Chain A
Amino acid sequence: MAYFIRKLVLLLVTLVLVSLITFAVFQIIPGDPIRIMLGPEADEARIETLEKQLGLDKPLHEQYGKWISGVVTGDLGDSIRFSRPVSELIADRLPVTLSLALMSVAIVIIVSIPLGIYIARRHNTLGDVIFSSLTQVGMAVPSFWLGMLLMLYLGMTFSFFSISGYIPWSESITGALGSLLLPAITIAIPQIAISFRYIRNTIIEQLQLDYVRTIRSKGIGERFVIYKHVLRNAMIPILTVFGLIFAEVVAGTIIVEQVFGLPGFGSLLITSISYRDFPLVQGIVMYITIVVVVINFLIDILYAILDPRIRLG
């Protein structure tokens, strides 16, 4: 119990610190949200009125004070760029980015774990050499270029895939898959390369340890050795890598959403920063902070499940 309370307090402290840092950064960088939105030909009277209506004429610390007192009551405020509640914008984007991230991670897991095991057992064969060099390519490919290639060769050939825009799950499951699968693969490929290498190396390492020789000498089948013992022991380091990969995937969505024109979190974040949309930036940063802290927390718990020797606390 003490463990959970400590984690919760840590989360709150992190949130306050992060919001203060974001606030400080906004005080330093130049740029005015209304002017950025309306452009150089904007009517001065309109700018003045809008700034007054949105409370942007007040000093920034007052704006922050207003924002934080709203947050305490559960109101994240309205976005300046989109004139809508921040919480509504975030809730709208969540399914897109979350589906994209989870699909990518699922693809990474489905492909890299079996492939890693398979190649590890054929260590130093031709297949190993080929796959290991392919991963080098996979890691080096920039995602925007990969996205373009997939669009060009898969998107243009099969009408199942949509090249641009997002179709919600509620409207059509196949439509949603069609709009998310290509970007998910785009994000997954470099991550598959990374995790494949890691899994392969970890398993090769494990296979050379004494306990494996002992089990094998007992005459236990190779399959059982790999799946029951080696994989379980390899899981702790692999899990650490997957924690990192999840973070990479979330970062990857930012670029890929731009390329595929998906209305997700990443594009929202970029827009909010370039438009100096203070309430929206704060809302998104808060949200990302919570996700990162929670994921780390879940990974901690998974460690304990996988390896009973690890105690939470």
Chain B
Amino acid sequence: MRNFFKIFITFSTLLALVIVVSACSDKEENSASKGSDEDNGVNIRINNDPDFLDPHMAQASITFQMILNIFDGLLVGDTDGSLQPALAEDYTISEDGLTYTFTLRDGVTFHNGDPLTVEDVQYSFERLMGVETGEALSSNFENVASLDAPDENTFIITLKEPNSAFLSYLTALHSAIIPKNNDGKHNEKPIGTGPFQFSNYSPENNMVLVKNENYWKEGLPYLDTVTFTFQPDDQTALLSLQAGEMDIVAVGSHRVPEVEKDFNIEYQDSNSVLLVGYNQLKEPFNDIRVRQAINYAVNKDDVIEAAFSGYATKLGSNMSPAAGEVHKEGLEDAYARDVEKAKQLLAEAGYKDGFSTTLSISSHAALYTNVAQVVVENLKEVGIDVEIEVVEWGVWLEKIYQGRDYDMTIIDFTGELSPYETIERYQSDASGNLFNFSNEEFDGLMKDVLTESNVDRQIEIYHRAQEILSEDAAAVYMADYQIIWALNPKLEGYKLYPYFFHDLSEVKWKK
């Protein structure tokens, strides 16, 4: 017995030691403030950690979903996708489309108390362009000829060539304005001008933001703290919501019945494009008839029902209706399901008995597996025998996305504010063209649209570009799925955007 106690005491002492050690170490930064109406904060579930806190390095939409509360750009994308003035009060574009003149807003201060100056704006763009280091952080500004600050309130960007998509690079998503005097610390201690200021980030635990008392929008924000809790498990997140630990959680479509009674449900078109891609340099996908046959074979309604319980919008090209009038309507049924036609096209292409191929998908989201199973069943009916290969996300990126070494794959691309960015990957020489798609007319249109200053004409070009993707069967465009948010019913003022953004500036607790 004595020995049993010895072991027991050893372990208890060790345990006590851990408690004492961690109690002594000053860890106020770890505070997991639970959101509730009592302390006027909210707690929001986020699936994963941010990639970088530095807005010029970050890329993941999950990061911007959070940090857009910290930073502002010269412009901001509104709820309808239109660009509105933010730190720039006003702007003009010269006739030739080369000179952009911005008037900066007065009375804006950074979270560290310093006023926003034109030098900070210039610094932000120079940093992105890598003017001093020679190492650019963004290729969006390669087209910039010069940056000028003629007076305290005016900032001028001059382009080398006209670019109709340029304005869309001026939001905090692509060019957040950050203070020059925080150089070298933007990732550890980010400072911006947004409604909330950064307080603390604890990896794989949470990120806490606190109210910016001097926010330039009078009277905003209402909340005192915002906690983003990193919770990778969907099931646990849902339980936390139901237990009142979290206030805003995205729920899977099949879980809606469990939460719709007790919570406010918001459906957000994610402006993404879920597609089946194939390698068009490889046989048999180099044959347009085979690609069209696959398009006729895949039943988009089945996919939407099976993977999203119906909470998705059917697509016909690489653009979601959430993008607004630039989206070309009527393409979603261009390849309405037709097994006979698919078989006929395959026979014409010389694959009377079908063929075997591999569908490679990433394991990081259950979505891909769910969709793949439906697609495989659909294709089997027309005689195409598909084997599913599940690979790790890192492998997918290297082998399939970068290496383009695959037959078929499934992926969803997040929509951008600019239609140009959304479809630019289909240009023959684009680095993101994992499909190896090539169409001369498409390439030409994409060059033309940049120099086109007339907005109506731009829309016409984008419409035609989407038609080409559909006609050429560049991929099987399936769906823009909805993100379903369950919110604490006592919260109000939550707005939905056509991109990933938890805008908390106007969120408050009902009295």
Contacts and interface: CB of A to CB of B under 8 A. Distances in A.
A238 B233 CA distance: 36
A39 B397 CA distance: 8
Contacts of A156: 239, 242-243
A8 B55 CA distance: 46
Interface in A57-84: 81-84
Nearest to B242: A156
B414 interface: yes
A258 B136 contact: no
A261 B231 contact: yes
A37 B48 CA distance: 11
Interface of B: 1, 3-4, 6-8, 11-12, 14-15, 18-19, 21-27, 30-32, 49, 51-52, 57, 59-60, 130, 133, 135-140, 142, 187-188, 202-206, 229-233, 235-237, 239-240, 242-243, 245-246, 364, 392-395, 397-399, 401-402, 411, 413-414, 431-432
7 contacts: A32-B398, A45-B130, A83-B188, A99-B18, A110-B8, A239-B7, A274-B393
A258 B394 contact: no
Contact of B203 (A82, A155, A170): A82
Nearest to A268: B204
A92 B203 contact: yes
Central interface residue in B6, B15, B140, by most chain A CB within 10 Å? B15
B245 A302 contact: no
B138 A46 contact: yes
A43 B401 contact: no
A260 B203 contact: no
Nearest to B60: A39
Contacts of B399: 30
A312 B137 CA distance: 59
A267 B246 contact: no
A174 interface: no
Nearest to A40: B401
A165 B32 contact: yes
A106 B22 contact: no
Contact of A31 (B60, B245, B397): B397
A148 B399 CA distance: 36
A53 B3 contact: no
A162 B397 CA distance: 37
A45 B21 contact: no
Contacts of A24: none
A306 B4 CA distance: 10
A43 B59 contact: yes
Interface in A1-49: 29-32, 35-46, 48-49
B394 A151 contact: no
Nearest to A95: B22
Contacts of A122: none
Contacts of A38: 51, 59-60
B231 A45 contact: no
B139 A231 contact: no
B432 A109 contact: no
A45 B138 contact: yes
Given A81-B49, A98-B18, A166 B32 contact: yes
Given A31-B395, A82-B49, A168-B22, 5 more contacts: A36-B393, A171-B27, A171-B30, A171-B32, A263-B202
A89 B204 CA distance: 10
A232 to B, nearest CB: 6
Looking at chain A's contact residues, the main secondary structure is helix
A53 B54 CA distance: 14
Given A43-B140, A50-B57, A103 B15 contact: yes
Contact of B15 (A99, A171, A235): A99
Central interface residue in A98, A109, A165, by most chain B CB within 10 Å? A165
Given A41-B59, A105-B11, A148-B235, A164 B18 contact: no
Contacts of A167: 32
Contacts of B24: 170
A168 B240 CA distance: 18
Nearest to A33: B394
A302 B6 CA distance: 10
Contacts of A49: 130, 133, 135-137
A42 B59 contact: yes
Contacts of B239: 151-152, 155-156, 163-164
Given A30-B399, A35-B402, A44 B236 contact: no
A41 B21 CA distance: 43
Nearest to A306: B3
B394 A31 contact: yes
A95 to B, nearest CB: 4
A109 B30 contact: no
B51 A37 contact: yes
Interface in A112-170: 113, 148, 151-152, 155-156, 162-170
B127 to A, nearest CB: 11
A228 B5 CA distance: 12
B236 A271 contact: no
A303 to B, nearest CB: 11
Contacts of B137: 43, 45-46, 49
B397 A40 contact: yes
A177 to B, nearest CB: 10
B245 A164 contact: yes
B88 to A, nearest CB: 23
B1 A231 contact: yes
A274 B394 contact: yes
B23 A170 contact: yes
B431 A163 contact: no
A165 B245 contact: yes
A41 B413 contact: yes
B205 A113 contact: no
Contacts of A109: 7-8, 11
A165 B1 CA distance: 38
A110 to B, nearest CB: 8
Contacts of B233: 258-259, 261
A29 B394 CA distance: 9
Instruction: Please list the 4 inter-chain residue pairs (A to B) with the smallest Cβ-Cβ separation, ordered nearest first.
Output: A31-B394, A227-B1, A38-B59, A95-B22
Nearest to B244: A159
B221 to A, nearest CB: 23
A261 B31 contact: no
A29 B398 CA distance: 10
A235 B398 CA distance: 53
B52 A95 contact: no
Contacts of A275: 394
Interface string A277-313: 0000000000000000000000000100110000000
